[in-house]
Amino acid sequence: MSNAPHDAIEVITTKRDGGALSDSQVDWVVDAYTRGEVADEQMSALAMAILLNGMGRDEIGRWTQAMIASGERMDFSALSRPTADKHSTGGVGDKITLPLAPLVAACGVAVPQLSGRGLGHTGGTLDKLESIPGWRASLGNDEMMRQLEEVGAVICAAGDGLAPADKKLYALRDVTGTVEAIPLIASSIMSKKIAEGTGSLVLDVKVGSGAFMKDLDRARELASTMVGLGTDAGVATVALLTEMGTPLGLTAGNALEVAESVEVLAGGGPADVVELTVALAREMLAGAGREEVDPADALADGRAMDTWRAMVAAQGGDPDAPLPVARHTHVVPAPASGTLARLDALAVGTAAWRLGAGRARKEDPVQAGAGVVWHARPGDEVTEGRPLLTLHTDTPERFERALAALEGAYDVASGRSSEGTVTDLVHERIG
């Protein structure tokens, strides 16, 4: 198209030389790339220039709006209740979406949770739920709306129509070393969430070894950027910076995490999973104007469990069916008696991935029963020779590489509980 207002080289060199892209440059390049007019190698060069030189708030806002404009927008205004959604930047043992969506729905707020699959050491919510016999991730928009009205919560795959520019750009960033660019992470997440049409949004931005953001300053920058994008787009948005140096709960793996989520909904489960679920539920309810409702009550009285069962059944799943169990297990004993001082989230996530719970490429299958269970959390006492970790897989030849990932992943301190083993789960709130 010779009469185009811009060309790719001009846009690339503007950003390469540290300039700010104009609104029309942003609109043009995102649209032209989505249509295939700007080549992958040109968008790669632009992505690298953005990684190295950054983007201002107005630029990121315009980039996000251009990605939203590449596809459809959903509208939940016809529902009889307000909507709230949560997005986590991903971690190890992060099964929070599973108990959280039905809990918030049980408190009178609809939760349209469009989720993804796992890649690498962080698990995907859809992979976890697919370990429930019969459950399906793909719903049409009409089915989704009906389920939100009748049940109050839906966890499903995002359709191809939402921000198709993001899907294309995400795949490119993955293979060009530009995943870490904060403007591109923020606009990727927020373009989908704003297009999804939710009224309020809570972001769970993980910090630590098992998280995408390893240090607090970078996590804070990402959280602030996303909160700004949401607020500017008229979505009530807050972010919590939460700890991911230690894995969440006591399990990492698909069916293993579903079982733990059901324990939480039954009023039990690990204290950290319950604490984070309730903290995020309170933020979602406040964002939707229901701050007077205490979600802890809905966990205690069984309403959240009732909603979970209805949500699973509505998507073809059998909430009473036994979950898949791996055919082989391997126990890692505690090397000494004392207090577990450290358990590294990245190592545990990598071990679960190598056991078959995750995938290296998008098209890889996952094992429903594979994963890692840890029998103590930092601060707990352990006894030499007693089980510290149990590895689960259908393919025992995977044990060796999983054990290699766990070398140096935990420390046992002599004596009873030492100071500093337990860190705060929620570091700070932004927004």
User: Catalytic: which of 166, 204, 272, 344?
Assistant: 166
Q: Report how far residue 250's alpha carbon sits from residue 93's, in angstroms, rounded to the nearest whole number.
A: 7
User: Catalytic: which of 192, 193, 354, 377?
Assistant: 192
First-to-final CA distance of the chain = 43
Q: Report how far residue 255's alpha carbon sits from residue 261's, in angstroms, rounded to the nearest whole number.
A: 10
Q: Which amino acid is at 199?
A: G
- Give the torsion through C-alpha atoms of 127, 230, 272, 92, to 10 deg: 40
Nearest to 226, CA basis, from 189, 257, 254, 251: 189
The CB density around residue 408, as the number of other CB atoms within 10 Å, is: 9
- Give the torsion through C-alpha atoms of 424, 251, 395, 332, to 10 deg: 70
Active site annotation includes 173 = yes
Please count the residues of the chain: 431
Here the tokens at position 124 are: 């995907």
Q: Is 245 left (phi over 0), alpha (psi -120 to 50) or beta?
A: alpha
What is the Cα 420 distance to its own chain's centre? 27
Which are the contacts of 324, defined by CB distance < 8 A and separation ≥ 6? 131, 255, 368, 369
User: Catalytic: which of 173, 290, 354, 392?
Assistant: 173
User: Catalytic: which of 70, 115, 131, 188?
Assistant: 188
User: Catalytic: which of 62, 87, 95, 392?
Assistant: 87
Q: Which amino acid is at 52?
A: L
Active site annotation includes 24 = no
Active site annotation includes 87 = yes
Q: Report how far residue 107's alpha carbon sits from residue 303's, in angstroms, rounded to the nearest whole number.
A: 9
Active site annotation includes 342 = no
Q: Which residues are catalytic?
A: 87, 166, 173, 188, 192
